[in-house]
Chains A and B, each alone.
Chain A
């Protein structure tokens, strides 16, 4: 069965934006640090609204922060 995931470059972008901390990003986009941790680990696909807020925090278009990846069982073999 295919497992769809929304991947992201948040960790890399944070470091490129004056080494922004997870808490600073969380405060900017209005979520808890736990959610940023989950996003960076790839454990959570954000809502469209949150994805836009994060992209706006980095002054980048959505597709430069998030990408769509499709993992199939064959990929994992």
Chain B
């Protein structure tokens, strides 16, 4: 298995772990007030912002640790640049990822149209963000293994 394949798998696993761990941490902090109270909106706002921040930092740390482990275990140096195949796969993964997120965004807006509580909209948005991230990693892994 090559560096890029391993990196895609690590990225996929870390995305799932970070999201699940963060949701488990945040779930008990859900405000007691009404569903559309200011406190609830603040909760969802901070949920998204902190999740983004935590996710970025965790991905950077995991990437550094992965590179160190990769060097130690294989004795190879990780590629320092992205070549034409990497760029093509990255573009494809981004396209599918954006498509999934846009689908989620439309669903979230649809939930408001059919008078669902605003928290449903936030949940769909957050879930689509997570799913788009997972889809991107899966797409990369698929193309690195099966070709382009």
Chain A residues at the B interface, C-beta cutoff of 8 Å: 30-35, 37-38, 41-44, 46-47, 50
In the complex, how many angstroms separate the beta carbon of A8 from the nearest chain B beta carbon? 13
**B3 engages A47 (CB within 8 Å):** no
Is B83 an interface position by the 8 A CB rule? yes
User: Which stretch of B14-22, B109-117, B140-148 is in the interface?
Assistant: B140-148
**B146 engages A43 (CB within 8 Å):** yes
A43 partner, pick from B2, B79, B147, beta carbons under 8 A: B147
In the complex, how many angstroms separate the beta carbon of A40 from the nearest chain B beta carbon? 11
**A44 engages B148 (CB within 8 Å):** yes
Residues of the A chain whose Cβ atoms lie less than 8 Å from the Cβ of B85: 31-32, 34-35, 38, 44
**B83 engages A30 (CB within 8 Å):** yes
Residues of the B chain whose Cβ atoms lie less than 8 Å from the Cβ of A31: 83-85
Number of B interface residues at 8 Å Cβ cutoff, please give it.
Answer: 14
Residues of the B chain whose Cβ atoms lie less than 8 Å from the Cβ of A34: 2-5, 79, 85-86, 144
* Smallest Cβ-Cβ distance to A49: which chain B residue: B84
Chain B residues at the A interface, C-beta cutoff of 8 Å: 2-5, 79, 81, 83-86, 144, 146-148
Residues of the B chain whose Cβ atoms lie less than 8 Å from the Cβ of A42: 147
Residues of the B chain whose Cβ atoms lie less than 8 Å from the Cβ of A30: 83
Residues of the B chain whose Cβ atoms lie less than 8 Å from the Cβ of A38: 85, 144, 147-148
Residues of the A chain whose Cβ atoms lie less than 8 Å from the Cβ of B84: 31, 35, 46-47, 50
* Max count, chain A CB within 10 A of own CB: residue among B79, B84, B85, B144: B85
12 extra A-B contacts, CB within 8 A, seeds A38-B144, A47-B84, A50-B84: A32-B81, A32-B83, A32-B85, A32-B86, A34-B4, A35-B83, A35-B86, A38-B85, A38-B148, A43-B147, A44-B147, A44-B148
**B83 engages A37 (CB within 8 Å):** no
Residues of the A chain whose Cβ atoms lie less than 8 Å from the Cβ of B146: 43
Q: Report the separation of the CA atoms of residues A19 and B135 in the bound assembly, to the nearest whole angstrom.
A: 39
